Amino acid sequence: MDKVEEGDAPSTRRRPPWIRVRAPTGEAYRELKRLMRTQALHTVCEEAHCPNIGECWAHRTATFLILGDTCTRNCRFCNIATGRPAPPDPDEPERVAQAVQAMGLKHAVITSVDRDDLPDGGASVFAAVIRQIRRLQPGCTVEVLIPDFRGRVEPLRAVMDERPGILNHNVETAPRLFRSIQPQCRYEWSQAVLRNAKALWPEAVTKSGLMVGLGETVEEVLEVMRDLRDLDVDILTIGQYLQPTKEHVPIARYYTPEEFEMFRLRGEEMGFRWVESAPLVRSSYHAGEQASLLERHP
């Protein structure tokens, strides 16, 4: 492969053709949107302006955003509002489970804003959602995309005790960029989450993801991938960072489809059991297909 030049495309450049997506349409999309509003639920698909919302919702797949829509952290890539969140809604776990039941899901993805204002970071709510989904929709596997809980074991234990189908935590970017891109996070906390998940339950299927185009080098991406394999992470997702607004960190450059394919192949060589690597890949993209890894975890 030819040498990749870093920083060759400023964020002001027109998006390349492989980045463009169609606006969400269709009856399945409209039906799912009505269901979310009826149940007073949030989805990260909407809050983060995910480019795959039309495709995923057309296939009746959505990522539920629990613990409100206001985050206690201010990551420079994220479009979710930052501020003082409202107290957790005690009825939210059941409402999420009812929506999963109404959709007839076989695999549900649950994520949250960061809740550093809560003693357990919201871990008990994740646990309650898992229990309620299993009560109302038996046989549905549950993937949780959790915060770092500041690297603490006890909040993570509360989630792992419920035996989620997939335990997902995204490192997002290279360690060198943490201070400028996600200043309230620590690479070591992310590593601790993924390491301790396996320690608490060795058979757990773990997952993590990266955005590229934030100013990292190709070698830094590969180094993070190696770190994740050293932590025995099973599933890896890599996608292009897209600047939500002018107030967010600019795009350093666009990676080509060929580069994403290189990351996929290198990830498979490293031993990941599943690698999703493409420009529009997001953490929950093809999550249902990835659930095929859960055959040993009914």
CATH number of the domain within which 229 lies: 3.20.20.70
pLDDT at 197 exceeding the cut of 90: yes
- Residue 235 burial by CB count (10 A; 0-12/13-18/19+): exposed, middle or buried? buried
Average of per-residue pLDDT across 203-226: 97
pLDDT category at 249 given cuts 50, 70, 90 is very high
Which amino acid is residue 232, in one-letter code?
D
**Amino acid at site 84:** R
Residues whose CB is less than 8 angstroms from the CB of residue 190 and which lie 6 or more positions away in sequence, other chains included: 148, 169, 170, 171, 208
Spatial distance between the Cα atoms of 187 and 27, rounded to a whole number of angstroms? 41
Looking at the structure of the chain, the number of domains it has is 1
Kindly state whether residue 1 falls inside one of the protein's structural domains. Answer: no
pLDDT in tens, 173-189: 999 999 999 999 999 99
Q: Is 9 inside a domain boundary? A: no
Domain that holds residue 44: 22-296
pLDDT at 292 over 70: no
* 193 vs 148: CA distance, rounded Å: 6
Residue of 276, 256, 278 lying closest to 267 (CA atoms) = 276
Confidence of residue 1 (pLDDT cuts 50, 70, 90): very low
pLDDT in tens, 233-247: 999 999 999 998 899
Give the C-alpha separation, 264 to 188, whole Å: 24
At 24, which amino acid appears?
Answer: P
> What's the pTM value of the predicted model, to 2 decimals?
0.84
Q: What is the pLDDT of residue 104?
A: 80
Enumerate the H helices of the chain as residue ranges. 27-38, 44-47, 53-58, 92-103, 123-136, 153-160, 178-181, 187-200, 218-230, 257-270, 287-290
- How does residue 10 score in pLDDT terms, banded at 50, 70 and 90? very low
The answer to whether position 13 is within a domain reads no
Token duo for residue 50? 């995910």
Separation between Cα atoms, residue 106 and residue 49, nearest integer Å: 24
pLDDT in tens, 130-172: 999 999 999 888 999 999 999 999 999 999 999 999 999 999 9
Establish if 28 belongs to a structural domain.
yes
Residues 6 or more apart whose Cβ sits within 8 Å of residue 116: 72, 73, 150, 184
Say which range, 95-99, 148-152, 291-295, has the weakest mean pLDDT. 291-295
- Has residue 27 been placed in a domain? yes
Within a domain: residue 175?
Answer: yes
Burial class, 247, CB count within 10 angstroms (exposed 0-12 / middle 13-18 / buried 19+): exposed
Rg of the chain taking only CA atoms, in angstroms? 18
> What pLDDT is recorded for position 40?
57
Q: Is residue 12 part of a domain?
A: no
